[in-house]
Amino acid sequence: MDLSTSIGPQFQEATKYGRGRPVPQAPGWASPPPPYKQYESYLDRVELPQAETVAGPGLWATIAGRRSQRRFSGRPLALTELSQLLWAIQGVTGEVPGFELRAAASAGALYPNETYVVAQAVDDLAQGVYHYDVRGHALGLLADGDYSADAAQACLGQTWMANAGAVFVWGAVVARCAWKYQNRAYRYLYLDAGHLGAHLQLAAQALGLGSCNVAAFFDDEVARLVGIDGRTEVPVYVTAVGHPD
C-alpha cells in the first residue's frame, strides 16, 4: 500500500519544524489551559495511600525483567499497589515556578493526558471507572460496576484484559497541548502517553506485577467507557495491569 499521499505523511510533513518555517509560539503565559481536569463532583472519592518514593528494586533488573504479560491470575491488586502505579506515572514529584512537575516527562510540562482506571479487581476499591486526581493523589468514581467486559470489548475484544486487576486509560485533552504547539501537539500527546505506558510497565515490574500496553482499540468505545467526548479529549493509550498467572 502506498501511503505517500495519505493523511499520515501529510500530517508528518505539515507539522515539521524546519529552518525558514515559523515555529508556533504560545499565545502568552497568562492564559494557559489548566493542567488538571476538574470534575464538579465524583460519585465517590477514594484517597490513595502514600506512595513509596525511595526504596524499591534496582532499575537495571526491572528493565531486564519487563515483558508484556497477557495472562493474569485474577488475584486482586492491593490499593497500595494501585497507588504506587499511579504515582509512578503522574505523581507530583517537583515544582518550578508556574509548574507542578510529574513523574513522567511531558512536552512543555503541559501534561495533556488524563488517567482513568477501570478497577476490575482491587482490594478495598469498588469496581468501577475512576478518574485519577493527580493533585489530591485520589481516585474519583465516575461510574460504578463491573466494566471489565466493556474494557476488553472496546479493545478489539482482547478478552485476556478482563482478568487484569486494573485497566489504565489515557485521554489527551488536546487544547492543553495545542495551546502551545498547535497541530504539532498531536505528536506530543502520543509521545507523552508512551512515557506514561513505559513508566507504568516498569512500575508494575518493580512490584512483581504484569502489564501489557494496548493501542488496538475502538476509539469511540474507549472514549465512552471513560466518559470523554473523543474530540476535545481523545483516547490515546491503554495498559492492563495484574498479577501474572
Ligand X SMILES: Cc1cc2nc3c(=O)[nH]c(=O)nc-3n(C[C@H](O)[C@H](O)[C@H](O)COP(=O)(O)O)c2cc1C
Q: Which residue, among 221, 176, 200, has the nearest Cα to 37 in the 3D structure?
A: 176
The pattern of x and - marking residues 125 through 164 that bind ligand X according to CB under 6 A reads ---------------------------------x------
Residue 69 or 90: the one with the smaller Cβ distance to ligand X is 69
- # chain residues binding ligand X, by CB under 6 A: 9
Residue 182 or 213: the one with the smaller Cβ distance to ligand X is 213
* 67 touches ligand X (CB under 6 A): yes
HSE-CB at 29 with a 13 A cutoff on CA atoms is: 5
Question: Applying CB under 6 A, which part among 12-20, 27-35, 62-70, 80-88 lies near ligand X?
Answer: 62-70
Q: How far is the CB of 202 from ligand X (least distance, A)?
A: 11
Owner of C-alpha cell 518493580 = 206
**In angstroms, how far is CA 33 from the centroid of its own chain?**
19
> Which position among 212, 226, 236, 241 is part of the footprint of ligand X (CB under 6 A)?
212
* 62 touches ligand X (CB under 6 A): no
Euclidean distance between CA atoms 155 and 224, whole angstroms: 12
CB 16, CB 9: distance < 8 Å:
no
Residues 215-234 that bind ligand X (CB under 6 A): 215-216
Q: Do the bridges between strand 113-119 and strand 233-242 make them parallel or antiparallel, or are there none, so unpaired?
A: unpaired
Letter string b/e over residues 31-56, b meaning 16 or more CB atoms within 10 A of that residue's CB: ebeebebeeeeeeeebebeebeeeee
Q: How far is the CB of 145 from ligand X (least distance, A)?
A: 24
Residues 26-55 that bind ligand X (CB under 6 A): none
Cell (9 digits) for 173: 485533552
Q: How far is the CB of 158 from ligand X (least distance, A)?
A: 6
* 213 touches ligand X (CB under 6 A): yes
Residue 164 or 212: the one with the smaller Cβ distance to ligand X is 212
> Which position among 214, 223, 234, 241 is part of the footprint of ligand X (CB under 6 A)?
214
CB 238, CB 168: distance < 8 Å:
yes
> Which position among 10, 50, 68, 93 is part of the footprint of ligand X (CB under 6 A)?
68
Q: How far is the CB of 67 from ligand X (least distance, A)?
A: 4
Euclidean distance between CA atoms 36 and 178, whole angstroms: 15
240: alpha, beta or left? (left if phi > 0; alpha if psi -120 to 50): beta
Q: How far is the CB of 196 from ligand X (least distance, A)?
A: 11
Query: In the complex, which residues of this chain contact ligand X (CB under 6 A)?
Result: 67-68, 70, 158, 212-216
